[in-house]
Chains A and B, each alone.
Chain A
């Protein structure tokens, strides 16, 4: 190996981080401008979550809880939209609630986006779905609704008395819902739903999470306490693919489009790791020599 090349490799170890930032910026931007349409292959975890929802009885009532904010919106919002579409397409009654204050906005946006589709124009607020809004108290709220919804949610997000909402007449506690779905980016979130509602009352639960959280949830999935999990943006893209596979939707969603950018970004990070190791070895070899 020529000494010039060796020096070049050693210098790589001191590569200015701004160059790395610039390269990452460009490789993320490129697929967003020119979509690559890479195929999405659903994994078992996402399929389990999808099928658990899909196989509920036709007259099921489901509870969906929003526990994320704008920072994790790109990862979790596409799955919120897909899961809500799935619920409405199957004809389930949907109860929305939030354990995070920002979740209120996320829930509102997701509902608006889904209900904007003409397939769901006939759905009536208070009869087919309701948004109970945010309540502070973290897991105390979950524990509270295992005993009484009315004690914890006196009004919905529009300030309508809960006793005047027809859908809530049949739902006294969380035990009256057939399925819980938590869209979670941290605490309180999916784990609290398993611990305080799903497990004690034996209500099936599944969850859509930020990628970084999935490690903590896998023990619950493996033990059967949680019915699959939608893991980050890849999971959201897989859920969108399953919606198309089951004929519930007909186009690639936002997550699938974003996966092109994430694919290339991951590839570039791996290339950086390889390059970093080559530089590390070149440097170590030279140090050994002297």
Chain B
């Protein structure tokens, strides 16, 4: 009980008080505490990620094994997890050619590189005028076989090229790697579709929910319409003809006024409330009153 209860509470209290004090004491050892704290955070977060992954596998795996309702979605989650893990850590792809010398047949080289990199021939020519110790061709291949074909083709025309592979880590953002294939071919279309559906649901929900039932609803509706029309070029177009003494009715101006005054006031009130809430909760955690982080009520 002592290890499970008193020790965590003591750690939270000591660390909380030290971190709080370090904000006000710009001298050693307090001055550099933030660097250490952020690195501790990174280390702990890494373990949390492992725990999170194991938890995901446990929950989704159980659903699949027991064939619970919607088990195929869980199967997709588990497969997606392993696919991403495999392409992130084991099979990266990302083969490319490094050019040491363009060789005697430069026009052929420029033309061919222009085709595979989708750049102008002039740009390729400029890029490979000064090669130095070696310059990569800006096109990655998923497999060694793919890059080998180009290697053989360019070598046969006299170019001096070398097959290389992207280092671990940098393969995460480069095209022509399996990880980026997941990102561009699966993740991007899925998340974009989900977000794009919002336009349809917003239209449908506005039609059904935005009703003039009372004064508050009417004010909300009027503000909503002014913002919606005033934020887009159509608003400026529709009220652009107004004479100067009626410029305050120009829709973009009206919407900016709503944005900057009533809306900012509301947002500020919410933020102050949240800020006070954070201070209160933090003090409760540091003083051991709030114990939900230990699984207690």
Contacts and interface: CB of A to CB of B under 8 A. Distances in A.
Contacts of A136: 42, 45-46, 49
Contacts of B42: 136-137, 140
- The B interface, classified by DSSP as helix, strand, loop or mixed, is helix
Contacts of A267: 229, 234
A219 B264 contact: yes
A21 B200 contact: yes
Interface residues of A, number: 73
Contacts of B199: 24, 28, 265
B269 to A, nearest CB: 9
B232 to A, nearest CB: 4
Nearest to A107: B173
A52 interface: no
Contacts of A151: 35, 39
Contacts of A270: 225, 228-229
Contacts of B252: 41, 43
A72 B172 contact: no
Interface in A85-101: none
Contact of A25 (B170, B192, B200): B200
A44 B46 CA distance: 43
Nearest to A15: B207
Contacts of B49: 136
Contact of A38 (B45, B194, B203, B237): B237
Contacts of A141: 38
B192 A215 contact: no
Contacts of B167: 158-159
A17 B207 CA distance: 9
Interface string A265-284: 11111101101110010000
A107 B233 CA distance: 28
B212 interface: yes
Interface string B264-292: 10111001000000000000000000000
Interface stretch (A1-9, A53-61, A142-150, A242-250): A142-150
B180 interface: yes
Nearest to A211: B231
Q: How large is the interface on B (under 10, 10 to 19, 20 to 34, 35 or more residues)?
A: 35 or more
A158 to B, nearest CB: 5
B256 interface: yes
- The A interface, classified by DSSP as helix, strand, loop or mixed, is helix
A263 B230 CA distance: 9
Nearest to B35: A147
B233 A276 contact: no
A39, A118, A146, A234: most-surrounded residue (chain B CB, <10 A): A234
A43 B236 CA distance: 11
A17 B204 contact: yes
A40 interface: yes
Contacts of A253: none
Interface of B: 32, 34-35, 37-39, 41-42, 45-46, 49, 123, 126, 167-170, 172-174, 180, 183-184, 187-188, 191-192, 194-195, 199-200, 202-204, 206-208, 210-212, 221, 224-225, 228-229, 231-234, 236-237, 252, 256, 259-260, 263-264, 266-268, 271
* Cβ-closest 5 pairs across A and B: A38-B233, A263-B234, A71-B195, A144-B38, A263-B232
Interface of A: 15, 17, 20-21, 23-25, 28, 38-41, 43-45, 69-74, 102, 104-105, 107-108, 118, 121, 133, 136-137, 140-141, 143-144, 146-148, 151-152, 155, 157-159, 211, 214-216, 218-219, 221-222, 231-232, 234, 237, 259-260, 262-270, 272-273, 275-277, 280
